[in-house]
Amino acid sequence: MSEFDDVRERRKQFLRAAYDFGKSRVANLVSMDEIAQQMSLEWNQLENTELDEYAAYYGGKGLIKGQADGFGLFSITPAGIDEVEGNNAQEPPGSIFQFYGNVQGSVIGTHNTAELTNSFDFRAIEQRIEEEGGEEKEELRRALAQVQRLLERDEYLDRGALSQFSGAMEKHSWFTGSVMQALLGFATQAVG
């Protein structure tokens, strides 16, 4: 057994001991002294020990909660009980993706086909530039005009084509997101 596996097994023993002691007590209270005795390990409130590391680990995961003296006295939480009993919800097999931001018009799921429609509105972005562009209004207008020209002329987007606008685009992430939406919409349109 590797050292990693050994630590993982002792950590599981720690949570199991907390469960065994706490399940029949008011507020599921357990003392670190009891855990130390159960696991044949030493625990001293004034020194950081292996048990303190396990307690910090499970405390960070919300499976136990310190009640006094750090984790000198703690309780096993309902999530900790579920962990020991194997009641945790299992993740469905397959890929999991997390999206941050606007996913309007996105196709998410396991469908075999999808149709993406480019519904990008340059006028809405021009209006937002006027409202939120600040000192970079002119630079954002020029960047938007360049993107619009590229899309209207069916030109390739060369590396660095928008680099002159990178400062303004960093300051206005909403603009960068809109440009990416336009480019992605264009790139996914069917050639007709």
Cβ density class 31-56: b for 16+ within 10 Å, e for less:
bbebbbebbebebeeeeeebbbebbe
> pLDDT digits over 112-171, tens only?
555 544 456 778 888 888 888 888 889 888 888 888 887 777 667 677 777 888 888 888
Coil, strand or helix: which one is 167?
helix
Model confidence band, residue 75 (pLDDT cutoffs 50, 70, 90): very high
The whole-model pTM stands at 0.45
Judging by DSSP bridges, how do beta strands 64-68 and 29-31 pair with one another? unpaired
Return the closest-CA partner of residue 29 out of 37, 19, 38: 19
Domains and CATH numbers, the chain: 3-85 (1.10.10.10), 122-187 (no CATH)
At 122, list the tokens. 């340059």
What is the reported pLDDT for 20? 92
How many H-runs (helices) and E-runs (strands) does the chain carry? 8, 3
Tell me what the mean pLDDT of segment 16-28 comes to: 88
Asked if 29 and 22 count as a contact pair (C-beta separation under 8 A), the reply is yes
What is the structure's pLDDT at 120?
A: 60
**SS3 per residue for 97-129:** CCCCCCCCCCCCCCCCCCCCCCCCCHHHHHHHH
Looking at the chain, the whole-number percentage of residues with pLDDT higher than 90 is 15
